[in-house]
């Protein structure tokens, strides 16, 4: 008995909607098995992991705070991946955004003006774009693989930040801790209510809607899809894949940079060696779970935020390692990709293998 794939005559609309849902359910089941394997009560652990984050207003706010960088990065990546351009270095672009935006608090500490925050956000975007332009430029000019170059630059960006906060940018009054000065009130994202909910989520939602419009209603969006799905046809239509590579890298890099400066100007409050629990990599999962659609990415980001929050809760309540969240995220991406097969193919169970096979 074996399973064969049978190509559907056309994309299954039902499966396009159902596959992320099936993937999430399969991840929950897998998660229960992992909990049982490491000797934790599976049902209780799943409850804490996936449902408790929704149980209070505080945690829902916190969910939105965690989802903010994931949305900002994820929407940009979804457009890049649609164009079949593989920017997997968003974590580095995030870091460079935080670093460039941090120039204002570090060097212009006393500049007290609403423009200071604006300047930080703009510099953050430019930092991300600058870092993303390197793999784009090398890809266009020399053909160097953008996957490897963008990933290598993640390590370089993190080491650069590490050097700055331990060396030239270190807070002189910081008792030798590796960190810069704390950002002042006017250098921080405006907060809604008394918690940590801030303007970042508004920027993220604006970006998501803008990109959804771009992809659905504009010529540029059409160009992205054509070059991604049928590059030859795109070239005959006069679209340039080089310009597209640069465009999606600058777009996704700029948004990752914005996410970086928003994060340090809100929840972190300073520059330090660790500013991200891997948002740039988790956003890759977000982009796929969201079906590479900007609006889908918003929903997916909220779901992945649950795994961060649930991971923290499970650590406190049951002593489950915070690494479990990373495992879930990996498992989830696997299930998403597996279930996506169902959109184009039908699974058929064949009783026995009739054909003789070579080798």
Partner 1 sequence: MDQSALLAVLLTIVTASTPLLLAALGELVTERAGVLNLGVEGMMVMGAVAGFAAALTTGSPHLGILAAAAAGALLAVPFGVLTLNLVANQVATGLALTLLGLGLSGLIGERFVGQPGVRLQKLQIPGLTDIPFVGPLLFGQDILVYLSIVLAVVVSWVVFRSRTGLILRAVGDNHASAHALGYSVIRVRWAAVLFGGALSGLGGGYLSLAYTPQWIENMTAGRGWIALALVVFSSWLPSRLVIGAYLFGAVTILGFFVQGLGVGVPAQLLSSLPYIVTIAALVVISTRRGRARADTPACLGQPFVPDR
Considering the rule CB under 8 A, would residue 1 count as an interface residue with partner 1?
A: no
Radius of gyration of the chain (CA): 22
Contacting partner 1 within 312-331 (CB under 8 A): 321, 323-331
Q: Which is nearer to partner 1, 158 or 198 (CB)?
A: 158
Of 255, 281, 294, 309, the residue at the interface with partner 1 (CB under 8 A) is 281
Do the Cβ atoms of 146 and 85 come closer than 8 Å?
yes
Residue 345 binds partner 1 (CB under 8 A): yes
Size of site (CB under 8 A) for partner 1: 50
Cα(12)–Cα(343) distance, integer angstroms: 5
Nearest approach, Cβ of residue 86 and partner 1 (Å): 6
- Tokens representing residue 72 in the block: 């900002």
| From candidates 181, 258, 284, 289, binder to partner 1 by CB under 8 A | 284
Tokens of residue 44, six digits: 């209780």
Does 17 help bind partner 1 (rule: CB under 8 A)? no
- Nearest distance from C-beta of residue 212 to partner 1, angstroms: 21
Which of 140, 144, 318, 343 binds partner 1 (CB under 8 A)? It is: 144
First to last CA, the chain: 20
CA distance 335 to 24: 8
Q: Which stretch binds partner 1 (CB under 8 A): 112-120, 162-170, 205-213, 248-256?
A: 162-170
Instruction: Output 122 or 138, the one with its CB closest to partner 1.
Output: 138
Q: For partner 1, which is the closer residue by CB, 156 or 205?
A: 156
At 88, give phi and psi (nearest 5°). -115, 15
Q: Are 157 and 275 in contact (CB under 8 A)?
A: no
CA dist 75 and 134 (Å) reads 20
Helix axes 90-101, 241-263, angle to 10 degrees: 60
**Smaller CB distance to partner 1: residue 92 or 200?**
92
Would you say 149 or 215 has its CB closer to partner 1?
149
147 binds partner 1 (CB under 8 A): yes
CB 23 within 8 A of CB 338: yes
Closest CA to 129 of 243, 280, 276, 251: 251
**CA quadruple 62, 64, 65, 66: dihedral sign:** positive
Interacting residue ranges for partner 1, rule: CB under 8 A: 3, 5, 7, 38, 81, 86, 88, 138, 142-145, 147-149, 151-153, 155-156, 159-160, 162-163, 167, 281, 284-285, 288, 321, 323-331, 333-334, 337-338, 340-341, 345, 355, 357-359
């Amino acid at each position: 008995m074996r399973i064969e794939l049978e190509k559907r005559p056309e994309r299954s609309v039902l499966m396009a909607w159902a596959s992320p849902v099936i993937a999430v359910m399969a991840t929950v089941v897998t998660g229960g098995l992992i909990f049982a394997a490491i000797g934790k009560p599976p049902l209780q652990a799943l409850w804490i992991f996936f449902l408790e984050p929704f149980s209070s207003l505080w945690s829902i706010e916190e969910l939105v705070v965690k989802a903010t960088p994931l949305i900002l990065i994820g929407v940009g990546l979804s457009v890049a991946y649609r164009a079949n351009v593989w920017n997997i270095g968003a974590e580095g672009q995030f870091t460079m955004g935080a670093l460039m935006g941090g120039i204002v608090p570090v060097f212009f500490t006393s500049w007290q003006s609403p423009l200071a925050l604006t300047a930080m956000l703009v510099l953050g975007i430019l930092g991300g774009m600058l870092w993303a332009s390197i793999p784009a430029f090398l890809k266009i000019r020399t053909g160097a693989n953008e996957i490897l170059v963008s990933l290598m630059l993640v390590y370089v960006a993190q080491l650069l930040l590490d050097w700055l906060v331990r060396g030239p940018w270190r807070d002189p009054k910081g008792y030798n801790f590796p960190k810069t000065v704390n950002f002042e009130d006017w250098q921080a994202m405006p907060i809604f209510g008394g918690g940590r909910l801030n303007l970042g989520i508004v920027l993220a939602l604006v970006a998501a809607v803008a990109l959804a419009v771009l992809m659905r209603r504009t010529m540029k969006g059409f160009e992205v899809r054509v070059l991604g799905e049928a590059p030859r046809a795109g070239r005959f239509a006069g679209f340039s894949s080089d310009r597209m590579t640069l465009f999606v890298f600058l777009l996704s890099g700029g948004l990752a940079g914005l996410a970086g400066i928003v994060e340090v100007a809100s929840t972190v409050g300073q520059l330090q060696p660790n500013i991200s629990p891997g948002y740039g990599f988790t956003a890759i999962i977000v982009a796929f779970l969201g079906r590479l659609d900007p609006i889908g990415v918003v929903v997916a980001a909220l779901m992945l935020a649950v795994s961060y929050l649930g991971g923290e809760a499970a650590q406190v309540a049951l002593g489950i390692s915070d690494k479990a969240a990373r495992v879930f995220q990996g498992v989830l991406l696997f299930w998403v990709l597996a279930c996506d097969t169902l959109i184009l193919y039908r699974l058929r169970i064949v009783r026995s293998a009739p054909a003789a096979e070579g080798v």
